[in-house]
Amino acid sequence: MLAVRGVHTYYGNIRALGGVDLDVHPGEIVALIGANGAGKSTLMMTICGSPRARQGQIIFDGRDITGMTTHEIARLRIAQSPEGRRIFARMSVLENLQMGSVVAGVQHFDEDLERVFKLFPRLKERLNQRGGTLSGGEQQMLAIARALMARPRLLLLDEPSLGLAPLIVKQIFDAIRELNRSEGLTVFIVEQNAYHALKLAHRGYVMVNGQITLSGPSKELISREEVRAAYLEGAH
Ligand SMILES: Nc1ncnc2c1ncn2[C@@H]1O[C@H](COP(=O)(O)OP(=O)(O)OP(=O)(O)O)[C@@H](O)[C@H]1O
Ligand SMILES: [Mg+2]
């Protein structure tokens, strides 16, 4: 479904990605783990078209999207829940969800709204509250719900567990697992929380300094000594 081939991305003269190859197949959950500054968010943003890849190709559904604008890419129903949530703080929960639904069209709006409320009942109780006044966990739920309102064929999640209490992290990861199981939703997830991400995902990739150093089935990665030592120390 998604094929990343030899992608290089720069910020000015600084190279953030140095030839990344990665695949996401339909119906899969794929996790990308790596230390701070490894280039995980850069890869996710490059897939969405900003920043642009300077070299290499990104193929979605057999179509080369490398040169497309972020808007054109969103219209292919690749939806992103970016790092740091980036919800619309002054808009209500409902308005945020309406923004998310723009690319999906209005005809499914009510149905899609019910679907995200089922996943995150908390949002239904806070429909008219302004996004900026939600708790951190609620904002994360809203960011994911907004991405789901686009009826994504590929859902990109950047650090959905960041800064959240274990119980909320569990709720969010359960929701992602359930969407994948019941609807076959394809998910690409970037996580600091390597243990949770690998437990959730079917396959995983490890990124170091803008390059993929390891990949394989999650179960295999979890049991590898170099992964345990670098990313799972202290996890249980
Ligand atoms: N807008 C930018 N301008 C210049 N450099 C940037 C920019 N965004 C990211 N970088 C640099 O690119 C590198 C990769 O950053 P990126 O945000 O992709 O890492 P990450 O793996 O997501 O890290 P984290 O786990 O901390 O979120 C870092 O060295 C970072 O400082
Ligand atoms: Mg990041």
* Sequence spans of domains, the chain: 1-76+191-236
In angstroms, the CA 152 to CA 156 distance is 9
Banded model confidence at residue 66, pLDDT cuts 50, 70, 90: very high
Q: Bridge partners of 20?
A: 7
Task: Please work out whether the CB of residue 42 comes within 6 Å of at least one atom of ligand 1.
Answer: yes
- Measured in degrees and rounded to the nearest 5, phi and psi for residue 43 equal -65, -45
Residue 198 has pLDDT above 50, yes or no: yes
Where do the H-state alpha helices sit in 12-151? Answer: 40-47, 70-75, 93-100, 109-119, 121-125, 136-148
Residue 51: per-residue pLDDT: 95
Could you report the per-residue pLDDT of 121-169, keeping only the tens digit for each? 999 999 999 999 999 889 999 999 999 999 999 999 999 988 888 888 8
Atom of ligand 1 nearest to the CA of 210: 14
Residue 226: per-residue pLDDT: 85
Superfamily of 1-76+191-236 according to CATH: P-loop containing nucleotide triphosphate hydrolases (3.40.50.300)
Residue 55 has pLDDT above 90, yes or no: yes
Q: Which ligand is in closest contact with the Cα of 207?
A: 1
Which residue type occupies 25? H
Task: Please work out whether the CB of residue 213 comes within 6 Å of at least one atom of ligand 1.
Answer: no
